[in-house]
């Protein structure tokens, strides 16, 4: 059966996004310097060969351990789930060929027809909750894994419902002091077992299995 996982970058003090990175300020990355701060958080992935090829940023790039982690995450993913806020921000900022290349299920109260993008990304809008989105995702995953793409609140909902099998976090050496905290509302009874810890010059990759109580 497909595994449910999430794979995100996180600041050393536990934030997925810096203060100011929201829909109201998506066109102004200088607001609270969120553009530069987010760039630092994600700086480990930008030079990677797989990432550059995936987003058509040009030839070349690094091929070390960070590249292997990035490639492995994308190749194992058969479908993604995200929240409305993440989608709204991405709809403004993604290139025409959105970077998923899989079906994507968006949790929202908005009724909307599927949004088809070049390159295989089709966004489906789910109005009846996280479990419905997961059922639809399993049917579309084609044997691959299901990634909870974000944001933090959606990840927390799936964690607290006991629906996540694996946690992948790339801890970047940056401190935000605020923003959207990954584990802000997570059930303290969550039980984890470390699978792997991979240091690199830019980031530390942590992988955990979620154990059922």
Which tens digits make up the pLDDT trace of 55-71? 888 889 999 999 999 99
Q: From CA 153, how far away is CA 84, in angstroms rounded?
A: 11
Q: By residue range, what is the domain housing residue 108?
A: 4-21+29-211
pTM of the predicted model as reported, rounded to 2 decimal places: 0.94
- The four Cα atoms 123, 119, 158, 140 give a dihedral, to 10 degrees, of 80
For residue 155, give the CATH number of its domain. 3.40.430.10
Reported as half-sphere exposure (CB side, CA atoms, 13 A), residue 137 has a value of: 32
Q: CA-to-CA distance for 210 and 176, rounded, in angstroms?
A: 27
Count: domains in the chain: 1
* Tens-place pLDDT, residues 68-120: 999 999 999 999 999 999 999 999 989 899 999 999 999 999 999 999 999 99
Q: What are the tokens at 178? A: 């605020």
Neighbours of 181 (CB within 10 A): 18
DSSP helix/strand/coil, 88: helix
* Number of alpha carbons in the 13 Å side-chain half-sphere of residue 72: 13
Contact 95, 127 (CB under 8 A): no
């Amino acid at each position: 059966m497909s595994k449910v996982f999430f794979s995100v970058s996180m600041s050393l003090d536990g934030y997925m996004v810096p203060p100011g990175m929201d829909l109201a300020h998506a066109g102004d990355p200088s607001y609270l310097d969120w553009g530069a701060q987010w760039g630092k958080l994600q700086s480990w992935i930008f030079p990677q060969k797989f990432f550059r090829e995936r987003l058509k940023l040009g030839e070349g790039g690094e091929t070390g351990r960070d590249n292997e982690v990035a490639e492995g995450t994308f190749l194992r993913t058969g479908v993604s789930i995200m929240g409305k806020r993440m989608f709204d921000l991405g709809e403004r900022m993604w290139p025409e060929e959105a970077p998923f290349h899989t079906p994507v299920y968006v949790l929202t109260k908005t009724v909307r027809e599927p949004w088809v993008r070049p390159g295989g990304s089709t966004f489906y809008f789910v109005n009846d909750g996280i479990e419905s989105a997961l059922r639809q995702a399993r049917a579309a995953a084609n044997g691959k894994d299901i990634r909870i793409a974000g944001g933090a609140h959606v990840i927390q909902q799936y964690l607290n419902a006991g629906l996540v099998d694996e946690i992948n976090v790339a801890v970047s050496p940056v401190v935000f002091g605020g923003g959207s905290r990954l584990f802000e509302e997570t059930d303290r009874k969550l039980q984890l077992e470390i699978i792997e810890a991979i240091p690199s010059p830019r980031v530390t990759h942590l992988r955990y299995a979620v154990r059922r109580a």
